[in-house]
Amino acid sequence: MSSYDLPADEIITPAQFQASMKLVRLQIAVPISVLMSMGTNLVCALALKPGLRGIMDLYPTLLTPNVPMLGFYWALTFVLQVGFCLNLLLARKDVTKETLVHGVGLRFSAANWLQAGWAVCFTLQFFLGAEILLIINAINLLSIQFTLLPYPASLRHPLDALFIHAPIILLSVILFELDWLHSGFIALGWVIKDEAKWGKWTWQAVGAVGGVNLVMAIWEGVRGNYLMAFASEYVLLALLFSSPRTNPTLPTTALPKPTGLIVMLIICLVLHPVAILAGVAWKRTREREGRIRLHEEVEEAEAEADAEAARHGHSHAHAHTHADRTSRA
């Protein structure tokens, strides 16, 4: 019987009780946090004026993304989080329960509460508080990535890959590669209010985009994380295809991005596939080296066995010769 399933007619051990309670706490905390995050973001985006989009329009920066593309990304993330909750409530396999309890834990619930707090702070235009919450949440989600290493996504468990790993990856990418940077630009006052200031913070934007994408590309290459690479590409396209307006009410005030930032975005778009290909090539090289080393070890073992057999054969023949001579004498 699984340590997460309490026996009906047997005495419950402390280990079984603790394991079961950890899962039960997750089954209560995570769905509540997802509902809270989803509801708060919807209210702040649709019910309040100005909402999340309105405030983004009022404070345009070089890292303001394409809003419709960003909205689709978040909608997909919340749909996958609903799947996460269903997978959590209906989990039957031990590997799924181990992944949820030890790989994810209550930090996923904390991530949703932090996201809800960000939406409130951003809507109230308390940008410093919003930025602090985003940084904490980005670190929180990256820590989940590390604890999930012993429980990698696998085609043998497709529901776990789709409803556990996927929403965490999507959240990690959007927070680490975009949200905290965009909110940070607003908090620091690097806002474009007129055409003369459009390129003022170009190199800050170039350095920020290049730095976070380099880190994520290295992680993608080492871990072979295809979904993370795809999400990174999408976020970069959302940045590339955005043209924030210096005046939200006038479409003619939309300005193109500075050349330096466009070049960096294109370099990063190329970087992620290259990192994946390099990771695949490195993995195959290691596997090939391992097969060659194993083959050499097998050949050495066979050679040693043949030599040992030859020595035993020689000793046996020598013993027979000595016995014959003794019998003749």
Q: Per-residue pLDDT tens for 98-124?
A: 999 999 999 999 999 999 999 999 999
CB 227 within 8 A of CB 158: no
Question: Which residue's structure tokens are 């004026």?
Answer: 49
Q: Does residue 324 lie in a domain region? A: no
Within-domain flag for 315: no
| Pairwise CA distance, residues 197 & 192, whole Å | 6
List residues bridging with 259 in a β-sheet.
Answer: none
Average pLDDT on 274-302 reads: 76
- 29-38, 57-66, 302-311, range with greatest mean pLDDT: 29-38
Number of domains in the chain: 1
CA quadruple 317, 322, 326, 329: dihedral sign: positive
Sign of the torsion angle spanned by Cα atoms 75, 80, 81, 83: positive
Residue 325 covered by a domain: no
Question: Whole-number mean pLDDT of the chain?
Answer: 86
pLDDT at 269: 96
Least confident of 12-26, 35-49, 287-301: 287-301
Query: Is residue 326 included in any domain, yes or no?
Result: no
| pLDDT number for residue 317 | 52
Given a contact cutoff of 8 angstroms between Cβ atoms, the answer to whether 78 and 171 are in contact is no
By residue range, what is the domain housing residue 105?
A: 15-284
Mean pLDDT for 54-80 is: 93
Residue 320 lies in a domain: no
To the nearest whole percent, how much of the chain has pLDDT over 90?
64
Q: Confirm whether 2 is domain-assigned.
A: no
pLDDT band at 315 (very low <50, low <70, confident <90, very high): low
pLDDT 10s digits, 140-175: 999 999 999 999 988 888 999 999 999 999 999 999
Q: Which tokens belong to 55? A: 């405030």
Flag whether 19 is in a domain. Answer: yes
Per-residue pLDDT tens digits for 234-265: 999 999 998 877 777 777 677 788 899 999 99
Cβ proximity of 178 and 53 under 8 Å: no
pLDDT of residue 292: 67
Residue 289 in any domain: the answer is: no
Of 28-32, 112-116, 230-234, 279-283, the poorest mean pLDDT is in 279-283
pLDDT band at 299 (very low <50, low <70, confident <90, very high): low
* pLDDT score at 1: 43
**Is a pLDDT exceeding 80 seen at residue 218?**
yes
Is the pTM higher than 0.75? The answer reads yes
Find out whether 197 and 253 touch, Cβ atoms under 8 Å. no
